[in-house]
């Protein structure tokens, strides 16, 4: 079991994490190629910080999130990942991510992505 990371602050909460919360959060937040133990871990979502809010940018955000979370399926820790991208306010995309764990639990995450 890992120490649970609060997704809003990035701090440890003092509780133990028994599911995929930390794995999903780390894979979305870390820039791909910068984690010393696994250069393939992380996402390319940070590349969208200078992109305009267009349908193409939303498609890229969905693809980048799916690519970042694919190792959870490959490791058989999850059976499915679904990503929906919305634009609730100017300058931000919101990723609504649903992950089905190998045990059948359905976890839902929201991840903001800064755009221009």
Strand, helix or coil for residue 106? strand
pLDDT of the residue at 37: 87
pLDDT of the residue at 98: 96
For the chain, residues with pLDDT lower than 50 are 1
Topology, domain 2-114: Nuclear Transport Factor 2; Chain: A, (3.10.450)
pLDDT of the residue at 71: 94
pLDDT of the residue at 17: 52
Judge whether 69 and 78 are in contact, CB under 8 Å.
yes
Strand, helix or coil for residue 103? coil
pLDDT of the residue at 15: 57
């Amino acid at each position: 079991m890992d120490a649970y990371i609060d997704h809003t602050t990035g701090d440890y909460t003092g509780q133990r994490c028994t599911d995929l919360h930390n794995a999903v959060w780390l894979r979305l937040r870390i820039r791909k190629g910068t984690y010393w133990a696994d250069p393939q871990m992380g996402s390319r979502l940070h590349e969208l910080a200078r992109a305009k809010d267009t349908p193409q940018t939303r498609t890229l955000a969905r693809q980048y999130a799916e690519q970042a979370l694919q190792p959870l399926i490959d490791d058989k820790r999850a059976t499915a990942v679904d990503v929906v991208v919305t634009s609730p306010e100017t300058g931000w995309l919101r990723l609504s991510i649903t992950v089905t764990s190998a045990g059948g639990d359905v976890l839902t995450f929201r991840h903001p992505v800064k755009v221009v």
